[in-house]
Chain A
Amino acid sequence: MKSNPLSVGSRHPKVVMIVDNGEDTSGAANILASHIDEYRTILLDDKTTEYIHQTAPAVILFALSSIEKCVEYYTFLVEESELNHIHYSIVLCNNKESSLAFRCCMKGLFDNYFVYQPLYERLRLLMVVQSGLTETQADSQVQTDSEELSEKIDDELSALIDEGSRCKQSLLKKISQSREDISKVPSTDLIKDIKDLDSPQKLLNNINEDHVHPLLHLLEEDIRTSLDKIIAQLLNQRGTIKESLPVKKQKTKGLITHVPSIKKRNNDLEIGPDDLISDELLSEKLAETEKRSAEVKQPKEETSLTHSILVVEDNKLYRDMISSVLSKENYRVDEAEDGLCALEKIKENRYDLILMDLFMPNLDGLNATKKIRQLSKGIDTPVIALTGNKNKELVKKWANYGLKGYIIKPSTKTEILSVVKKNLELSQEKLDA
């Protein structure tokens, strides 16, 4: 972080954040620095005002320790004519002061606000700054080609977004063009038309014929073409979605993705992957072990598989462990990494029992179970919770959601198989009855 204002001879940043406590704002500063080339963090001192006056940044974020200080300093800058250029002001606040920040924006003091403590919506911070850059027409913008921003969007969805965006830009362009065309019509022509007309109705008809209908026709054509493209894309997506469902390539956890991170680490926390173990060593050992495991494995006996079980768990390692326990007992095992994936599988397959983690991204276990009950159409497939929580009150609550039992994580093989067998038997008894 830059602790003092830069000299005028150095780069002129388009975006600056004024802070009085560097540590509290380091999260937001890291995000901005990673995605905006012309960004600077400025520590408030007696040179800051001069610096702001001389560099004239397009977007100014006020991240002082309270809203009151932000208001005081911003008012000072405006009153003293230190901010005589077009700019976009954003006040950063903690969660407790968000309503105050909102009020400041509604009164027209700041242009926008952002809650940075706690820092939940990192991408929204970038969006707010981008709005400022667009509004002030600064020749700078938020970089969106980083791995953090581009991951987790499949090709079809990405194409759909591009098409939607193109459609909107085209519509805006046409509206703007039509406005220009209308303004170009000499007012004398209109007056002449009016004089020639017998009635207001005739005038309206003429306006409709000459201006409104051609414009509507143009818009209709444009919308039809774009819709055709979107429908074609959706149909294409539907065709491929079936193939992509059983193998979900990347584990997603809301905004978390379990791939090596590119983000910078905080300097004062000196731990990280390099301090731990090397990738090469682990990969080598894993390959060795897998090879030996394959050699040791006996040919599988051709026994008839009894029941099918769906294991829903976001932690792949634990999912593999549970699947391994069940497969060895000749259960047919299918896996899902979250509630949504489980629902897709349940729509297409019939399972005799479902093991469900409760705390998962996208759709958690309780809500997934509720949905399963809605989808089941009378088939009462037992759903067993995988949980680390032993609270009895919660267990009662889970029963209301349709959960038939629970397995405490981590359990032993004996405990898992006992719960599974017991519930399969109960389910079978119900069916027989």
Chain B
Amino acid sequence: MTNNQLKIFNNSAMFDLVGDDKELIKKFQIEFLQQAKQSIAKLSDAYGQSDFTTLKEEAHFLKTSAKAIGAEQTGDYLQQLEDISELNDKNKCKELIILINNSIKQVYGVIKNEI
């Protein structure tokens, strides 16, 4: 699947994982946004310090929950950041962190409308 085909937010991902428990799904969605906010701060900080190890670890960390929650584009950007961090490509890392931040904002917009 190319990045263009990936959804900002795929509702069925959580449904497929935890079943038809709307309240539980909402709880996980909100927790994801909280987690994402902290991770973005960490990514930004690691970028500032050219700490590529932390960038890779943090991208991997958030990728797990992003994919589970159905934030497909965010998950894909995080995967790219995880890969690119190994190459110590600071400019590309910056580009991806900005894309991740924007995609999380979009996910937030979708979830906010649903809650």
Chain A residues within 8 Å of B, Cβ to Cβ: 24, 26-27, 30-31, 117-120, 122, 253-256, 258-261, 263-266, 269, 271-273, 275-277, 279, 282, 285-286, 289-290, 292-293, 296, 313-318, 320-321, 324-325, 328, 357, 359, 361, 388, 409-414
- Residue with the highest number of chain B CB atoms closer than 10 Å, among A31, A260, A269, A293: A269
Measured between beta carbons, the chain A residues less than 8 angstroms from B64 are 313, 315, 318, 357, 388, 409-410
The 4 closest A-B pairs by CB, nearest first: A266-B48, A27-B49, A293-B23, A412-B16
Assembled-state Cα–Cα distance A320/B50 (Å): 32
Give B43 Cβ to nearest chain A Cβ, in Å.
Answer: 9
B77: interface (CB < 8 Å) = no
Q: Is A273's CB under 8 angstroms from B18's CB?
A: no
Given contacts A272-B40, A273-B41, contact A413 B18 (CB under 8 A): yes
Measured between beta carbons, the chain A residues less than 8 angstroms from B38 are 258-261, 273
Q: Is B88's CB under 8 angstroms from A409's CB?
A: no
B52: interface (CB < 8 Å) = yes
Measured between beta carbons, the chain B residues less than 8 angstroms from A265 are 41, 44-45, 48
Measured between beta carbons, the chain A residues less than 8 angstroms from B32 are 317
5 A–B contacts from the bound complex (CB under 8 Å): A120-B51, A321-B18, A325-B18, A359-B60, A388-B64
Give B58 Cβ to nearest chain A Cβ, in Å.
Answer: 7
User: Contacts A31-B49, A261-B41, A410-B13 given; 13 further ones with Cβ under 8 A?
Assistant: A118-B52, A118-B88, A119-B49, A119-B50, A266-B47, A272-B44, A273-B41, A276-B108, A277-B108, A285-B115, A314-B61, A413-B16, A413-B18
Question: How many positions in chain B have a CB within 8 Å of any CB in the partner chain?
Answer: 53
B30: interface (CB < 8 Å) = yes
Residue of B nearest to A271 (CB): B101
Assembled-state Cα–Cα distance A30/B28 (Å): 36
Measured between beta carbons, the chain A residues less than 8 angstroms from B108 are 276-277
> Could you tell me which residues of chain B, from 1 to 33, have a CB within 8 Å of some CB in chain A?
13, 16-19, 23-24, 26-28, 30-33
Q: Is B47's CB under 8 angstroms from A276's CB?
A: no
Given contacts A282-B30, A289-B27, A409-B67, contact A276 B45 (CB under 8 A): no
Assembled-state Cα–Cα distance A314/B94 (Å): 25
Residue of A nearest to B108 (CB): A277
- Determine which of B17, B44, B53, B54 lies in contact with A321 in the assembled complex, contact meaning CB atoms within 8 Å: B17
Q: Is B50's CB under 8 angstroms from A277's CB?
A: no
Measured between beta carbons, the chain A residues less than 8 angstroms from B51 are 27, 118-120, 122
Q: Is B105's CB under 8 angstroms from A276's CB?
A: yes
Assembled-state Cα–Cα distance A318/B61 (Å): 10
Interface string of B81-106 (1 = CB under 8 A from A): 00000001000001001100100110
Measured between beta carbons, the chain A residues less than 8 angstroms from B113 are none
Assembled-state Cα–Cα distance A276/B37 (Å): 7
Measured between beta carbons, the chain A residues less than 8 angstroms from B24 are 293, 324
